[in-house]
Structure 1
Amino acid sequence: MRNPFEKEDHTGLIVGVAVGVAAGISLGWLFLTDKGAQYRRQLSRKFKETVSDKAADLIDKKTFVPKKMAKVATDAVVKD
């Protein structure tokens, strides 16, 4: 039989609600404000630049194509 006076542990629920609230506020700021739109554009450019660099490095390592030529090709594929 279960002890009716034993407290239940709700820390998982509290942490989950806190993470959900923080994510909601962050997404709301990113998508509903002008400053958030600017930040999204910056993140997008940085992400595309990083992907292009990593792809050029991989092409350089795995093929005989030099990194400069691979970078030109990956920049063409990953457009702004």
Structure 2
Amino acid sequence: MKNPFEKEDHTGLIVGIAFGVAAGIGLGWLYLTESGATSRRQIRDKFKEGISDTVADLIDKKTFIPKKFAKVATDAVIKKK
């Protein structure tokens, strides 16, 4: 039988709630402020650049096409703004 006077450990719940609150505040800032819109554009551009570099590296390693030419092609496909 369970001891009714024994304390239960709610650490996981507290950490989960704190993480959810922090994520909500961060997303709210990104989508509800002008500086957040600027940050979203910067994050999007960095993400596209990283994907383009990764794909160009992969093309360079798996084919005979040099990375600089593969990079031009991947940039054209991603369509940077």
Same fold (TM over 0.5): yes
1:24: which partner in 2? 24
**Aligned residues with identical type, % of pairs:** 75
2:48: which partner in 1? 48
Q: How many residues align?
A: 80
Q: Counterpart of 1:71 in structure 2: which amino acid?
A: K
Q: Deviations over 1:22-53 (max 9, x none)?
A: 00000000000000000000011111011101
TM-score, normalised to structure 2's length?
0.95
> Matches of 2:58 and 2:4 in 1, distance apart?
61
Q: Counterpart of 2:61 in structure 1: which amino acid?
A: K
Q: Secondary structure at the match of 2:37?
A: helix
> Matches of 2:49 and 2:9 in 1, distance apart?
45
State how 1:1-80 maps to structure 2 within 5 Å: 1-80=1-80
TM-score, normalised to structure 1's length?
0.96
**Structure 2: gaps of 5 or more residues:** none
What is the root-mean-square deviation of aligned Cα atoms in Å? 0.7
Q: Stretches of 4+ moved more than 3 A in 1?
A: none
> Matches of 1:49 and 1:2 in 2, distance apart?
56
**Structure 1: gaps of 5 or more residues:** none
